[in-house]
């Protein structure tokens, strides 16, 4: 449906393109982002509904609905659905939306984008079928059996090619901090997934891991902890770095802090896995190492929080009117809380109490509901009007979502702290004669059941918030224009192929023209971290005739780097972006432009 | 450092080189994992063996796979930590706390992360009776008042896939579990014999009949086996202290008791 209109936008722009031969015109693939947003919301609802069901099964076992829908089989359905389907689709939406803008380039391949989308959904569906049937490896967050594991690897590789291909053909020299986090995510998840899933099949849906016992435990929690780190943390930090400044209309607080906290985070996180195995048969040194690095992790984690929250410096009043910012602020605050709590839990003496109890569950959901959930909701409320080019249907409903969700999280988390600490204390209590105070385990179970009900109420409130968002989304999309052409953008043609210059190491020749664009940026933003790589106003204008827009972001820069760099290694590279783009709707224009460019240089 | 991170510093240059950036990121994430994993591979295998720990029988293995398929591990841990209260609660009858050496055949490990129900690492020592398990699995509240565990009546109805066992054992053998070729070939028969014995035990204890080819037999066999090989080791040896890490664990016990 977008086809016809996509074609028309570039037609308008063609004239503009001809006039200014050093301007490149291109479109962003927004359809794929809309798809990922749909999937996020749909799976979020399903995953959390299953969460509510298992939350009901705990205090009320009659809710175990037969063999396939009992707690043990549904719990992994819940975790997989919320992590890989809800959070997963959410970060893909964020990555596909922001990467194109930060690179000023359409995704490398539309075909790969589609393959990624549908492949991922197929994996989720197969998980939703196989897990209730009892096909599971039992390894947390890696329950899927080997054929699905292979499918995940394939889809992830295609995603990686698509992403790095986009970096390769980018029109913006420097990678913005959000992209660093995406890079770390893509690389690390691949390494973790392959490393932890190595297994020998015994049949089509049963396999045994190549690691045994203690080694298996270590590898699993190397994976498990870093699934948290590189699936639920780094991509969401990338999301934060892109959408928070957008929503606040401020540059990121500190560029230096971004650098320091990025590198320390990716380096330190990997070491922390053994904190899931304190006091087990894992050698003690490993647990100690895990504890030390977990405590160190507190600093870079709060670096991220500070950079996110302080982006609002001097603009806190904007919170009042922006549900997006409210969501982000609560999300980042919960990130700060769970990354303070995490190091605490990894300390041996605390872990001795908390491990195996509901305290862990409370910790998980303060991160998951607060950080992952609210960052996702904030992003969706920000994207809805932009992707569907209309107004959000109801701000009031969005605000109601915010409050219901927040109260839901608080109930959930407080109930779990309460029951977790109760369990921990009851398990270890001795009476005066030196016997266990509660020798029957069941006593400790019955004690926390009221808290399970409170958790259920909290979960239902949170889920209710999601339903409000769905209603809001439905009504918003109903008022969207029938056709949503991909927005067209213009940027100065880059005589240097940045992607190509990569490993060349000729830093000197590249540095020369460098200050120019950097200064341009500092001048407009008063901060070294670029937030203007994507021009929000331009997005809005996209439905207007293209010719006008071409002057927007284009002209400004065209004077900057364009002419100066033209003498460089221009010729070689000018051909590359052109030929690759030939698939796009604007192929012919580009071809023309490329010729011109070659002549010029 | 300052040169590196200032607004037009070296990091700025790095941001222009995605390939280098990606390589550096990859290196930084590899270090920690390798440092922690390699010593385990190099050292672990030799040290912690416990003589009496043997691979599961074919039926127990099947039971373990049922345990996994039902997701029992989502609520039950199998790891007794070296605290006085845990040893008291779970480590009776010679079980003690969990040791590395008893897990050498665990593929996958099943230590769990949540104790919604009690730990099961020593279940075979604490509840050896077959009938109790049959009743408990069929309807947990019939044996444990107030329990919130789901019922598993289908385990008393569905049949064990005896014929799949040979392939499973062979796979494990390839990974290093020392199954004799004879056991692998005759896995189904061996399992049937053991299931029959348990079914007889259940009948003698006054339980239901006709369970000898049902999944519940495999699960019961597995549950009955938990912890027994370790207890055998402590019977054989002079003390029930763990092999190499006994010292540190002991101090944990006292530290914990003094709280
Ligand atoms: C309506 C909202 C939700 C409800 C009612 C809910 C409920 C639950 C329940 C009852 C459990 C099992 C706890 C236990 O075994 O004792 C659980 C586990 C879990 N949930 Fe949720 N959940 C919700 C949302 C989420 C979201 C949004 C995420 C992630 C993005 C998430 C991630 C997890 C994880 C990772 C676990 C496993 C924790 C562990 O193994 O320690 N949940 N949830
Ligand atoms: C500095 C950051 C963090 C550290 C050091 C940390 C540390 C920990 C520790 C010590 C545990 C308990 C292990 C146990 O006793 O079994 C844990 C569990 C967990 N944490 Fe964190 N945490 C951090 C941040 C987060 C965040 C932001 C999230 C979610 C988005 C999260 C999700 C989880 C999950 C899902 C588990 C449960 C794993 C399981 O047992 O199944 N953590 N974390």
Structural domain contains residue B136: yes
CATH number, domain with residue B85: 1.10.760.10
Chain A positions touching B145 (Cβ under 8 A) are 442
Which residues of chain A fall below pLDDT 70? 1-21, 494-601
**Same domain membership, residue B26 and residue B125:** no
Q: How far, in whole angstroms, is CA A539 from its chain's centroid?
A: 22
Residues B38 and B155 in one domain: no
Query: Which residue's CA is the closest to the ligand 2 atom numbered 33?
Result: A364
Q: Is B71 helix (H, G, I), strand (E, B) or coil?
A: coil
- Contact (Cβ atoms closer than 8 angstroms) between residue A298 and residue A310: no
CA-nearest residue for atom 43, ligand 2, is A342
pLDDT at A582: 30
Ligand nearest to the CA of A377: 1
Residue A469 CB burial class (10 angstroms; 0-12, 13-18, ≥19): buried
CB contact under 8 A, B25 and A72: no
Report whether B78 contacts B118 (CB < 8 A).
no
Residue B109 has pLDDT above 70, yes or no: yes
Nearest chain B Cα distance for residue A446, angstroms = 7
- Find the CB nearest B99 among A188, A281, A289: A281
Nearest C-alpha neighbor of A465 from the set A528, A417, A400 = A400
Whose CA is closest to A228, among A60, A345, A349, A110? A345
Q: Phi and psi at residue B209, in whole multiples of 5°?
A: -100, 180
Task: Note whether A362 and A55 are within 8 A (CB).
Answer: no
Instruction: Give, using CA atoms, the residue closest to atom 39 of ligand 2.
Output: B113
Q: Is B12 near chain A, with CB under 8 Å?
A: yes
- Do B159 and B117 have their domain in common? yes
Is B194 among the domain residues? yes
Domain that holds residue B24: 10-45
Report residue B10's pLDDT band, with 50, 70 and 90 as the boundaries.
confident
**Which candidate from B29, B108, B117 shows the least CB-CB separation from A216?**
B108
Backbone conformation region of residue A279, classed left if phi is above 0, alpha if psi is from -120 to 50, else beta? left
Cβ(A358)–Cβ(A428) under 8 Å? Answer: no
Is B174 inside any structural domain?
A: yes
Degrees, nearest 5: CA angle A149-A155-A156: 85
Q: Read off the pTM.
A: 0.85
Q: What is the DSSP letter of A108?
A: S
Q: Quick one: B147 and B237 in the same domain? A: yes
Please say if the pLDDT value at position B251 is more than 70: no
**Is the same domain home to B26 and B127?**
no
- How far apart are alpha carbons A466 and A323 in whole angstroms? 14
> Does B2 map to a domain?
no
Burial label, A434 (beta-carbon count in 10 A; 0-12, 13-18, 19+): exposed
On the question of pLDDT at B239 being above 50, the answer is no
User: Which sign, positive or negative, has the C-alpha torsion A519, A525, A530, A533?
Assistant: negative
> Are B176 and B79 in a shared domain?
yes
B148 shares its domain with B28: no
Q: What angle, 0 to 180 degrees and rounded to 10, lies between the N-to-C axes of helices A374-388 and A234-248?
A: 50
SS3 for A495? coil
Supply the pLDDT for residue A137: 96
Number of domains in chain B: 2
How confident is the model at residue B235, as a pLDDT?
A: 64
Query: From the centroid of its chain, how far is CA A296?
Result: 23
Predicted local distance difference test score (pLDDT) of residue A523: 28
- Tell me: do B34 and B124 sit in the same domain: no
Pair A209, A137: CB distance under 8 Å: yes
Tell if the CB–CB gap between A67 and B152 is shorter than 8 Å.
Answer: yes
Q: Do the domain assignments include residue B128?
A: yes
* Beta-bridge partner residues of A207: A201
Question: Cα separation of A406 and A410, whole Å?
Answer: 6
Closest C-alpha among A582, A597, A581 to residue A493: A597
Give the confidence band of B47 by pLDDT, cuts at 50, 70, 90: low
Tell me the C-alpha to C-alpha distance, in Å, between residue A425 and each of A492, B114, B254.
Answer: 65, 15, 17
Ligand 1: which residue has its CA nearest to atom 20? A79
What per-residue confidence (pLDDT) applies to A561? 33
- Do B81 and A279 meet the contact criterion of CB atoms below 8 Å apart? yes
Question: Does any domain span residue B4?
Answer: no
Could you tell me if B57 and B37 lie in one domain? no
Ligand 1 pocket, residue B115 CB under 6 Å: no
Hey, are the CB atoms on B77 and A202 less than 8 Å from each other?
no
Are the C-beta atoms of A436 and B118 separated by less than 8 Å?
no
C-alpha–C-alpha distance, residues B187 and B167, integer Å:
9
The whole-number average pLDDT for the span B192-200 is 97
Are A73 and A134 in contact, with CB atoms under 8 Å apart?
yes
pLDDT for B259: 33
pLDDT for res A491? 79
Question: What's the rounded Cα separation, in Å, for the pair A516 and A514?
Answer: 5
Q: For residue A216, which phi and psi values (nearest 5 degrees)?
A: -60, -40
- Find residues 91-120 of chain A whose CB sits inside 8 Å of chain B: none
> Any CB–CB contact under 8 A between A206 and chain B?
yes
Which ligand 1 atom is the nearest neighbour of the CA of A55? 10
* B77 shares a domain with B35: no
Preceding amide of B221 cis, omega within 30: no
Q: Are residues B36 and B62 in the same domain?
A: no
Q: Is the peptide bond before B144 cis (omega within 30 degrees of 0)?
A: no
> B131-148, pLDDT tens digit by residue?
999 999 999 999 999 999
Do B132 and B91 lie in one domain? The reply is: yes
Q: Is residue B162 part of a domain?
A: yes
Average the pLDDT over B155-177 and give the result. Answer: 96
Q: What residues flank ligand 2, with Cβ below 6 Å? A: A 140, 224, 228, 232-233, 272, 275-276, 294, 297-298, 301, 335, 338-339, 342-343, 345-346, 351, 354-355, 360, 363-364, 367-368, 371-372; B 113
Taking the C-alpha atoms of residue A325 and residue A322, their distance in angstroms, rounded to an integer, is 5
Note the pLDDT of residue A534.
38
Mutate to test the interface with B, among A202, A416, A434, A450 (most CBs of B within 10 A): A202
Q: Is A54 in the pocket of ligand 1 (CB under 6 A)?
A: yes
Joined tokens for residue A508: 């000197």
CA–CA distance, B147 with A587 (Å, rounded to integer): 67
Residue numbers in A near B149 (CB within 8 A): 61
Helix (H, G, I), strand (E, B) or coil at A433: coil
């Amino acid at each position: 449906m977008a086809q016809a209109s996509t074609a028309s936008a570039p037609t308008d722009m063609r004239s503009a393109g001809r006039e200014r031969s050093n301007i490149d015109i291109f479109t962003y693939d927004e359809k794929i982002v809309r798809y990922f947003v749909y999937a996020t919301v749909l799976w979020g609802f399903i995953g959390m509904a299953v969460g509510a069901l298992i939350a009901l099964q705990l205090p009320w076992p009659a809710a175990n609905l037969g063999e396939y829908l009992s707690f043990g089989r549904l719990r992994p359905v819940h975790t997989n659905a919320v992590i890989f389907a809800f959070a997963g689709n959410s970060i893909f939406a964020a990555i596909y939306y922001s990467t194109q803008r930060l690179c000023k380039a359409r995704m490398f391949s539309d075909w790969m984008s589609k393959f990624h989308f549908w492949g991922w959904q197929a994996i989720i569906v197969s998980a939703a079928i196989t897990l209730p049937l009892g096909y599971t490896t039992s390894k947390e967050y890696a329950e899927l059996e080997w054929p699905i594991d292979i499918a995940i690897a394939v889809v992830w590789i295609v995603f990686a090619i698509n992403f790095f291909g986009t970096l390769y053909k980018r029109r913006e020299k420097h990678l913005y901090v959000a992209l660093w986090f995406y890079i770390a995510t893509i690389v690390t998840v691949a390494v973790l997934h392959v490393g932890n899933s190595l297994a020998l099949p015994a049949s089509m849906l049963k396999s045994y891991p190549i690691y045994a016992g203690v080694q298996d435990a270590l590898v699993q929690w190397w994976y498990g902890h870093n699934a948290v780190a590189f699936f639920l943390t780094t991509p969401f930090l990338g999301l934060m770095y892109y959408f928070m400044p957008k929503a606040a209309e401020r540059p990121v607080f500190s560029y230096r802090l971004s650098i320091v906290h990025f590198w320390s985070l990716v380096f330190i996180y990997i070491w922390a896995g053994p904190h899931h195995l304190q006091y087990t048969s894992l050698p003690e040194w490993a647990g100690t190492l895990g504890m030390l690095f977990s405590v160190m992790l507190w600093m870079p984690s709060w670096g991220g929080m500070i950079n996110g929250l302080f982006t609002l410096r001097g603009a806190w009043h904007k919170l009042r009117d922006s549900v997006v910012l409210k969501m982000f602020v609560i999300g980042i605050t919960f990130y700060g809380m769970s990354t303070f709590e995490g190091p605490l839990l990894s300390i041996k003496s605390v872990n001795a109490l908390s491990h195996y109890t509901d305290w862990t569950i409370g910790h998980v959901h303060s991160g998951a509901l607060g950080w992952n959930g609210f960052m996702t909701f904030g992003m969706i409320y920000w994207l809805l009007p932009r992707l569907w080019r209309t107004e959000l249907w109801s701000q009031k409903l969005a605000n109601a979502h915010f409050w219901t969700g927040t109260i839901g999280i608080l109930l959930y988390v407080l109930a779990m702290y309460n029951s977790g600490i109760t369990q921990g204390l009851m398990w270890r209590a001795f009476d005066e004669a030196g016997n266990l105070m509660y020798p029957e385990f069941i006593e400790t179970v019955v004690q926390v059941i009221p808290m399970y009900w409170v958790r259920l109420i909290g979960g239902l409130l949170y889920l209710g918030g999601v339903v409000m968002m769905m209603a809001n989304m439905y009504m918003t999309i109903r008022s969207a224009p029938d056709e949503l052409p991909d927005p067209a953008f213009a940027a100065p043609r880059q005589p240097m192929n940045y992607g190509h210059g990569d490993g060349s190491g000729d830093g000197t020749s590249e540095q020369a023209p460098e200050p120019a664009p950097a200064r341009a940026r500092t001048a407009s933003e008063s901060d070294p971290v670029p937030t203007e790589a994507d021009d929000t106003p331009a997005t809005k204008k996209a439905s207007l005739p293209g010719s006008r827009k071409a002057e927007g972001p284009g002209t400004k820069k065209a004077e900057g780097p364009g002419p100066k760099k033209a003498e460089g290694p221009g010729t070689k590279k000018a051909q590359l972006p052109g030929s690759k783009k030939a698939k796009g709707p604007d192929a012919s224009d580009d071809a023309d432009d490329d010729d011109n460019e070659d002549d010029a240089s | 450092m300052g040169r590196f991170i200032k607004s037009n510093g070296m990091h700025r240059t790095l941001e222009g080189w995605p390939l280098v950036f990606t390589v550096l990121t990859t290196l930084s994430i590899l270090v920690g994992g390798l440092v922690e994993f390699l010593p385990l591979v190099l050292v672990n295998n030799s040290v912690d063996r416990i003589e009496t720990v043997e691979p599961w029988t074919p039926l127990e293995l099947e039971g373990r796979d049922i345990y996994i398929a039902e997701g029992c591990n989502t609520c039950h841990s199998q790891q007794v930590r070296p605290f006085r209260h845990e040893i008291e609660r779970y480590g009776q009858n010679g079980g003690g706390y969990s040791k590395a050496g008893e897990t050498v055949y665990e593929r996958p490990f099943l230590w769990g992360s949540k104790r919604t129900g009690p730990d099961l690492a020593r279940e075979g020592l604490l509840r050896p009776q077959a009938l109790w398990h049959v009743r408990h699995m069929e309807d947990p509240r019939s044996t444990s008042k107030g329990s919130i565990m789901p019922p598993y009546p289908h385990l008393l109805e569905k049949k064990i896939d005896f014929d799949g066992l040979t392939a499973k054992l062979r796979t494990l053998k390839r990974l290093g579990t020392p199954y004799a070729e004879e056991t692998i070939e005759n896995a189904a028969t061996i399992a049937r014999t053991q299931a029959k014995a348990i079914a007889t035990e259940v009948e003698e204890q006054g339980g239901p009949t006709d369970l000898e080819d049902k999944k519940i037999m495999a699960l019961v066999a597995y549950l009955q086996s938990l912890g027994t090989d370790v207890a055998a080791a402590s019977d054989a040896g002079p003390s029930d202290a763990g092999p190499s890490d006994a010292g540190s664990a002991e101090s944990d016990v006292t530290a914990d008791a003094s709280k």
